[in-house]
Amino acid sequence: MFQAQPYSTRLTFKASDRPEAQEARERLAARYGDAGDDAQIVVALGGDGFMLEMLHETILNQKPIYGMNRGSVGFLMNEYSEDDLLGRINAAERAVIHPLAMVAIDSRRRQHRALAINEVSMLRQTRQTAKLRISIDGKVRMGELVCDGALVATPAGSTAYNLSAHGPIIPLGAQVLALTPISAFRPRRWRGALLPQSARVTFEVLECDKRPVSAVADNYEVRDVVEVHISEDRGSTLSMLFDAGRSLEERVLTEQFSA
């Protein structure tokens, strides 16, 4: 999954709206050139949110992304430096990830499809707790989960919302997904499950009129859902480049030992 590979020197620079990111883009483009649509590598300047935005934009063309932190959070980004950028990219380690595919059916029986790089979340919309039935590969595994919500996270997304919800950190090569409850009320002690990457997860919303629930695939939200199906999309491949010795796998491992 991780290997150093030489890439073309044709780069394009994308920046978030933050002033420091925009200024960095101008300096780097002037120094290294910007190949635009002909580039083979996208250099993303911003924080983790901007990296997710760029990953969604490159799903179709599958261009590798090398991120540098010009935002507030930079778990998915490399340290910012304008020197020897081509050398760093050519020596970078490549992380390949697959997003989750979500099919959400709303109360009017309309289908909504989206991809999630981090997680698909089920979230209560009102003060009422949500009631969810959870099936794995067509078999009901939990008849009723009373909670604020639940999520399915990829290994790459396991250190994001999943970790905040007390879910497990997953090494990228583990080939599993995290199913994590959000503020479970009943069964109170249930902490979630680890599922094989081939698992197909279905959430059914119980008492949906009284207890409405939304489904969120990264930043794409569908409200008033009654049923949501989630599985890994093996047909979509996303690539991120990390400085040698600072691979995403290494970052995920280090995170498990942080205070």
CB of 241 closer than 8 Å to CB of 90: no
Q: Which strands make up the sheet holding 201-206, listed edge to edge?
A: 111-116, 100-106, 225-232, 201-206, 130-136, 139-147
148 among annotated binding-site residues: yes
**For residue 134, what are its two tokens?**
């959870």
Q: Is 119 annotated as a binding residue?
A: yes
Which of 34, 37, 48, 243 is flagged as catalytic?
A: 48
164 is in an annotated binding site: yes
Any known ligand binding at 161? yes
- The reply to whether 48 belongs to the active site is yes
Residue with tokens 């010009």: 70
CA 94 to the chain's CA centroid: 16
Tokens of 15: 């920046």
Give the CA distances from residue 37 to residues 9, 68, 146, 153, in Å, rounded to whole numbers and listed in that order.
Answer: 14, 20, 48, 31
Backbone angles phi and psi of 52, in degrees to 5: -60, -40
User: Does the annotation flag 49 for ligand binding?
Assistant: yes
Q: From CA 259, how far away is CA 56, in angstroms rounded?
A: 31
Query: Is 118 annotated to bind ligand?
Result: yes
Is residue 162 a known part of a binding site? Answer: yes
Any known ligand binding at 66? no
What residues form the annotated binding site?
48-49, 118-119, 148, 156, 159-164
Active site residues: 48
What residues form the annotated binding site for NAD(+)?
48-49, 118-119, 148, 156, 159-164
